[in-house]
Structure 1
Amino acid sequence: MMKNLPLRQLIPVLEGKVLSGSITKTIQNAAKYGEHQITESSLVFLLKRKESLPLPAVRNLTVITSNPKALKNVRDDVTVIYVENVRKAYYRFVSFYRSLFQLPVIGVTGTCGKTTTKEMISWILSEKDHVVRTKLSHNGLARNLDYLLEIDEKTDYAVFEMGVSGPNQLLYSAHYFRPQIGIITAIGTDHIEGFRSQDAYIAEKAKMLKAVGKNGTILLNRDDETIRSLDLSEFTGKVLYYGQDPKAHFRAHSTQFNLKKNGMDFTLSCHEGEFACFVPGYGTHNVSNALAAIGASTLVGVKIQDAVRRLHTFRHIKSHLQFYEGKKGSLLIDDTWNTNPTSIEAALEVLVETAEGRKTVAVLGEIEELGDYAEQEHRKVGALAAEKNVDVLIAVGKNAYPICLEAAKRGMNPKAIHNVTTQKALLSLLGQLASPQTSILLKTSMRRSFSNTLQALVAKSNKG
């Protein structure tokens, strides 16, 4: 919960006029009415102008409103403060609260990899210090205040995932979090439906440069073509790159799949020298995430040796390329957290590199929020499947049919290409294909996939 603050201290910040109630109380929480949980001693912002706003039966509330006549159920212990513009008062409070703390804040954005990178950074830093971070990939704007209010006197670092699904959302989050270090992991195609064009989506991600401020540091993925082409001419802060590119400040080379230890071996080359590294989880994208995490950690004072050592024990969050024993002795790879063209390429690489002679089956779902780019992006996925030489391709959903068309066009055997639209058809087909000689990748969005498909495919011995 937030740092406790005397209400008397907040009234000038809010530019408010006390209409009723006591001002000698302590504020222990802040909430937007209708969006956040209202607890005892909360500062409640009524941003929506309605004819009737019943207050919850919670003790010691302080209500910020521009329409006091709308309030219902006003108890004796409620303080009512009038302001001309509630939204502006809310932002003044947010700015004031954030200004109370001088601590390193790292912001992470990107089409994919941002959740894992954020978790890796948090894991490294939390060995010795207290870290506030966004939970899983829950980065919706309505949650921002909750995360901000977790910061208190005990907090050493904050690491925030900053997603975007529409214009100006990144700067909106930056207003809350004020990161001094920003990371852009990749710029592909995802959540593009909320933008006029791909260029507008790229421009939104690039706002991380503005988010960290004139004296901030930006850490960029040098292997991403779009990121390499960003205009940095007006950015006056520090720019560092990571990746396999020879010009990267944090560079990985000699990268190898380590099938015995279920992860990736690589050598980190940087200003401080060369370091042998291992990161749990398969895929060169995991190496990229690790480089970003190591780089960001060193920027706030962690020794590279300590960051490298700590990553050995990192544990991935659920449904990020998790391996299971599947039905009939098959190998099952669960990557159902989310799906976009960039993460599909990474998942296909893992499927092929870990197969060890097994027949590879790629189950690929529809990609959401692509708008007018839907067909061309699904076709790119079909091209990837053909390029990676997967043995069997199963595209799930009507909108995924272009995946099949493009894979066939690129030379994949049409008899090995399937489009299914029901769970029954998918499970039937996989039931025929599954064997100890089969490796199955399930790469579909957690929001679109048939909810219990994974459970139906996992062998009973895996289930607790």
Structure 2
Amino acid sequence: MKTMTLKEVAQAINGRLCQGDAGVRVRAVSIDSRSLAGGELFFALRGQRHDGHDFVPQALAAGAAGVVVERMVSALNPGAAVIHVDDTLAVLQQLARYNREVYRVPVIGITGSSGKTSTKDLVAAALSRRFNTLKTTGNRNNEIGLPLTLLELDERFQAVVVEMAMRGPGEIAFLCRLARPTGAVITNIGEAHIERLGSVDNIARAKGEILEAIGPEGFAVLHRDSPYIRREAGRCRGRVYFFGIGGEADVLGRDIRPEKGGNRFRVRVPDGGETEIHLPLPGRHNVENALAAVGVAWALGVPLEDIAAGLAGAVLTPMRLEIIDCRGLKIINDTYNANPSSTRAALQVLAETGARGRRIAVLGDMLELGDEAQAAHRRVGGDAAAGVVDYLITVGNLARFMAEGALAAGMPGRCVFRCASKGEALEVLKDLARPGDVVLVKGSRGMRMEEVVQALVQGQNTVLP
């Protein structure tokens, strides 16, 4: 963030500096006293489980330049710098918006039902040869995480790529008021969050809020093959570019050649330029994500050769199709989250992954699907049975409907295992898997399916509940 004195911070967030040296300079913020570095400004946020005010003494002991609080904390050193506000989260967001306005750089907002984090990583990679790019760390994509990313913006960066998530209408619009994106990407529209929004049409409208934030000088890069996205495209006042594989698209991918650990393909951009891309990531869906990245980078003036070089070095955030070689097993760790479209994409990667042995899918519940949950799980199970996997292990109350779908689609009963817990699934997997097999592990965030991966990596004696 821009270096500011405590007095300037207090003015920017309409706070009152109750005590401390107004001239102390601040270069960064923190909301976690455990990871706070000396000289950072600590915001005491109130959460469902913890209240940051309880950790103000620890933050000051760790060297915080000052603290931002809603209520005074007792027994503080009289010299400690304290800024009092009405709402610490609201002023964190206010300071983030202020910092964004200080730096007039391109800001790319990325949303969609799945693929947001991978596409964020690929956009940053495509820009990397021409722009020192700040991107969302991990998936800090909500009303707390996005402001923290914007507060990392300073004079070192020439572009910003931020991921935007939502749980209901109005949330993307709110994030856009903070980030003020100059470019937008919508990766796809699917059933994720349908429990909260009621229909895919409602999901599309909520995701499409990002388009209304784009001004006449901006642009949007949108998935050609989604009728829901095409319907929302008119909400963008700037240029609109569609990406897709085959057929007609502004950013067109073709001649896809899967190879060990990735894909090679050709891409054509709107001005007719064309180049070959080597993408070190598996899956057709990652080719589509890369096409979105090409569209963004091209729109920002990055030459095709630099885009290709950047994508050739792309690395995804952990737990997104992360390949782990473990004592003869190849594990595909795609455990960060799951919905029907992302699970189908992961199953396709499993099918395309070279294996000397069998292909085993360990799939946990896909959450927040509402009334569609049982049917959606059955459909995914049917997809798994369609020659994609040799063995299916399901984990959870909803995932058992995947097992039902697989059996209904003709998968032999001896190849389907319904498990109530991750511990039970791990024991089945220990007995079943052998060197040469490929194992996909995936499930919604609430399932914490990475624990299965960690147990496999740690060895035979690991026990899970």
By the TM > 0.5 criterion, same fold? Answer: yes
Residue 227 of structure 1 deviates from its aligned partner by 2.0
CA contact (8 A) 1:33 1:46 kept: no
CA contact (8 A) 1:54 1:71 kept: no
Query: Equivalences for 1:188-227 in 2 at 5 Å?
Result: 188-227=190-229
Change (3 A) 1:217 1:430: same
Whether 1:61 and 2:66 are equivalent positions in the alignment is: yes
Could you tell me which amino acid in structure 2 is paired with residue 313 of structure 1?
G
Q: After alignment, is 38-47 or 302-311 more displaced?
A: 38-47
Could you tell me which amino acid in structure 2 is paired with residue 307 of structure 1?
I
Change (3 A) 1:78 1:445: same
CA contact (8 A) 2:30 2:40 kept: no
Could you tell me which amino acid in structure 2 is paired with residue 158 of structure 1?
V
Residue 64 of structure 1 deviates from its aligned partner by 7.0
CA contact (8 A) 2:99 2:153 kept: no
Q: Secondary structure at the match of 1:173?
A: helix
Aligned to 1:393: 392
Change (3 A) 1:429 1:41: closer
Aligned to 1:278: 278
CA contact (8 A) 1:98 1:177 kept: yes
Number of residue pairs matched? 450
Q: Secondary structure at the match of 1:241?
A: strand
Residue 319 of structure 1 deviates from its aligned partner by 2.9
Query: Equivalences for 1:321-360 in 2 at 5 Å?
Result: 321-326=321-326, 329-355=328-354, 358-360=357-359
CA contact (8 A) 2:93 2:147 kept: no
Query: Equivalences for 1:81-120 in 2 at 5 Å?
Result: 92-120=94-122
Report the TM-score when normalising by structure 1: 0.84
Decide which structure has the larger Cα Rg and report it.
1
Residue 342 of structure 1 deviates from its aligned partner by 1.0
Q: Distance in 2 between matches of 1:234 and 1:458?
A: 47
Query: Equivalences for 1:59-458 in 2 at 5 Å?
Result: 61=66, 70=72, 72-73=74-75, 75-77=77-79, 92-228=94-230, 230-259=231-260, 262-270=261-269, 271-326=271-326, 329-355=328-354, 358-436=357-435, 438-445=437-444, 447-449=446-448, 452-458=451-457
Change (3 A) 1:349 1:450: closer
Change (3 A) 1:402 1:102: same
Change (3 A) 1:20 1:399: closer
Structure 2 residues without counterparts, runs of 5 or longer: 460-465
Could you tell me which amino acid in structure 1 is paired with residue 177 of structure 2?
H
What are the Cα deviations for residues 198-232 of structure 1, in whole angstroms up to 9, with x where unaligned?
4332222111112334542111111234323x233
Q: Distance in 2 between matches of 1:305 and 1:72?
A: 59
Change (3 A) 1:129 1:376: same
Change (3 A) 1:320 1:63: closer
What are the Cα deviations for residues 259-280 of structure 1, in whole angstroms up to 9, with x where unaligned?
3xx2111111223333222211
Q: Secondary structure at the match of 1:364?
A: strand
Could you tell me which amino acid in structure 2 is paired with residue 312 of structure 1?
A
CA contact (8 A) 2:92 2:147 kept: no
Q: After alignment, is 299-308 or 80-89 more displaced?
A: 80-89
Report the TM-score when normalising by structure 2: 0.83
Q: Secondary structure at the match of 1:154?
A: coil
Change (3 A) 1:385 1:238: same
Q: Distance in 1 between matches of 2:384 and 2:40?
A: 56
Change (3 A) 1:90 1:273: closer
Q: After alignment, is 152-161 or 187-196 more displaced?
A: 187-196
Aligned to 2:463: none
Paired-residue identity, %? 30
What are the Cα deviations for residues 116-143 of structure 1, in whole angstroms up to 9, with x where unaligned?
1111222233345422111122323222
Residue 248 of structure 1 deviates from its aligned partner by 1.3
